[in-house]
Amino acid sequence: MRRFLPVLLLLVCVPSADVAANGARPDHVVLVIFGGGVRAKDLLDPDRMPTIAAMVKAGRVVDAVRTDAAHAYDGAGRILTGRSDSIPGPATHPTAPTLMEYVRVGRALPREKVWFVSYDGEDQLDLAVSTDPGHGAVVGPSIATGMGAFGEPLAAFLERTGRPDPVPESAWPHQRRLRGLNRSVVELALPSSGVEVGTARAERVERALLEEIDRRSLLVRGPNPRDERAWRAARTVVRVHRPVLTVIRLGEAERASGSVRDYERVLAANDGGLARLRATIAADDVLRDRTLLCVVADMGRNAEPNARGGLDANDDSKDHREVVFVAEGPGFRRKRGRLKGPR
């Protein structure tokens, strides 16, 4: 995993002027950690994971990425720090700086331009920042989890007052005209610079906020409810902030230890979440063709099911000890085939 972090650092720490000059590197990187333990052969199964298959066809694959992570938390910590000794134990802060911290420092970025989106909160969020004395929380990322970037902070308020009904698409053209009229009135009293009323950016934020907190957000069905909330939060973050770096950590694949069938259903559902995120990026004029989308698992799973019909993560098989890295977008030279050999 040590070769993984420097590659991403190179991609996201290059000044934007250089990116514009040669067009070879992305302006934005989205890193998705398929957490909870996912075998490479399952992630690359085109029938179960058609979105990953589309990324493979358009991008690059690195096979045989070795990891001896003791558990999923350790695996995610290795990815985020590039070190095998940075996680003292489960639910602890890394001792070495994370990718998010390095990028904020290296690019002198405000917090809103670097995000960590997690499938779960509380001590799972400790992975976002290290205890390194030269980095840590002061240069940590913005965080979204649970109900999302807007929904989580507003959860107590929404619990008391209720959630709004969804805004129909047909209402937005009327809203846009009203906002424009209001803007012309506001500008009589305030300078036009910095006034967001009626602007495209203001509408983008308003749409994302209302979609995240409306009544539909409580209806999270399917085999991966926590991951689904993470996908929704990630789409909100990407649409509103257009970050330089977004890290999305999933975790529902841990259901594998109890049932192979549940594990397969989680993977299929998460492929759908990835498809929606990919579509969000493609629909944004700022992000389209300028965003590198990366997918990697935190660890693998056993080659054979256990007595309960599940997949543990404790054998010495290739399925457990190797994961796969898939990247689509600017930043990697286009070549046919895969990069072979251990990494």
Query: pLDDT tens for residues 104-163?
Result: 999 999 999 999 999 998 999 999 999 999 999 999 999 999 888 888 889 889 888 999
Token pair belonging to 270: 């998460």
Q: What percent of the chain has pLDDT over 90?
A: 61
Taking all residues of the chain, what is their mean pLDDT, rounded to a whole number? 88
Distance, in Å, from the CA atom of 304 to the CA atom of 117, rounded to the nearest integer, reads 32
Mean pLDDT value of segment 79-88:
92
Summarised one tens digit per residue, pLDDT across range 149-201 is 888 889 889 888 999 998 899 998 888 888 877 777 777 776 655 666 677 88
Question: Phi first, then psi: what are they for 246, rounded to 5°?
Answer: -125, 125
The label of the residue with tokens 């002198």 reads 108
pTM across the whole model: 0.87
Please name the residues in contact with 303: beta carbons below 8 A apart, sequence gap of 6 or more.
315, 317, 318, 319, 320
Token pair belonging to 39: 């075998």
Summarised one tens digit per residue, pLDDT across range 268-293 is 999 999 999 999 999 999 999 999 99
Question: Is the pLDDT higher at 246 or at 213?
Answer: 246
Sign of CA dihedral 7, 284, 251, 152: positive
